Structure 1
Amino acid sequence: MTKSRELSPVGCIALAYSGLVLALGIYSIVVLLTVQDSILLSGVALIYLTFPLGWLIWQAWDLLPIEMTNPIVLTLLLVGAGWFQAWAVSRLVWYLELRSGESA
Structure 2
Amino acid sequence: MRQYRNGRVAAAVAGAYASLVVLLAVVSAVILLTVQDPILLSGVALMLITFPLGPLIWWGWDAVPPQMADPVLLIVILTCAGLLQSYLIWRLSRGPSVTEGRTA
TM range (shorter): 0.7 to 0.9
Where does the alignment leave 5 or more consecutive residues of structure 2 unmatched? none
2: CA distance, partners of 1:4 / 1:10: 14
Aligned to 1:57: 57
Moved over 4 A (4+): 4-7
Aligned to 2:90: 90
Return the offset for 1:45.
0.3
Which structure's residues are more often helix, by fraction? 1
Q: TM-score scaled to structure 1, two decimals?
A: 0.84
Identity %: 44
Report the aligned-residue RMSD.
2.2
Total equivalences in the alignment: 98
Please give the secondary structure, in 2, of the residue aligned with 1:65: coil
Q: TM-score scaled to structure 2, two decimals?
A: 0.84
Counterpart residue type for residue 35 of structure 1: V
1: CA distance, partners of 2:91 / 2:2: 16
**Cα deviation code 1:50-75 (max 9, x no counterpart):** 01011111122111122210000000
2: CA distance, partners of 1:92 / 1:9: 12
Aligned to 1:23: 23
Where does the alignment leave 5 or more consecutive residues of structure 1 unmatched? none
Please give the secondary structure, in 2, of the residue aligned with 1:77: helix
Q: Is the 8 A contact 2:10 2:90 kept in 1?
A: yes
Tell me whether 1:75 sits opposite 2:75 in the alignment.
Answer: yes
Counterpart residue type for residue 51 of structure 1: F
Query: 1:59–1:79: structure 2 CA closer, same or farther, 3 Å change rule?
Result: same
Higher RCO (C-alpha 8 Å, min separation 6): 2
